[in-house]
Amino acid sequence: MSYEKIKEEFIKGAEEYINAKRKPFEKLSGSELEAAKYHYLDDFQDYITHLNFTLYKLIDEHLISFQTLEEANAFQDYMKPTFGMLSIKFTEGLMD
């Protein structure tokens, strides 16, 4: 499987995670909504951990094997902007 396909699956999984975590916001308002947003944002490290495990799982499932450290670093460099984009997406619309 190509790196692009892994990236697509990775993004899709991250967006599903974000949507599932934000779903309860639809039923809340006022201080309850603000508290829910606070707890959501407070779980940012859990989100990053989820992203890491998801990426490792995709690499394993698709039998990606890095033969050299350079290959592994190249993949990491390829995915780095995606992590940045998904980090922004996690907080999008919740912080002023």
Residue 61 lies in a domain: yes
Tell me what percent of the residues of the chain surpass a pLDDT of 90: 89
**Domain of residue 73, residue span:** 3-91
pLDDT tens digits for range 29-58: 999 999 999 999 999 999 999 999 999 999
Residue 79 lies in a domain: yes
Residue 82 lies in a domain: yes
pTM across the whole model: 0.87
Number of domains in the chain: 1
Q: Residue 1's pLDDT is what?
A: 58
Residue 39 lies in a domain: yes
Token pair for residue 46? 């859990």
Residue 22 lies in a domain: yes
pLDDT reading at 87 higher than 90: yes
Segment 4-20 mean pLDDT:
96
Residue 96 lies in a domain: no
Residue 47 lies in a domain: yes
Mapping DSSP to helix (H, G, I), strand (E, B) and coil, where does residue 16 land? Answer: helix
pLDDT reading at 9 higher than 90: yes
Residue 37 lies in a domain: yes
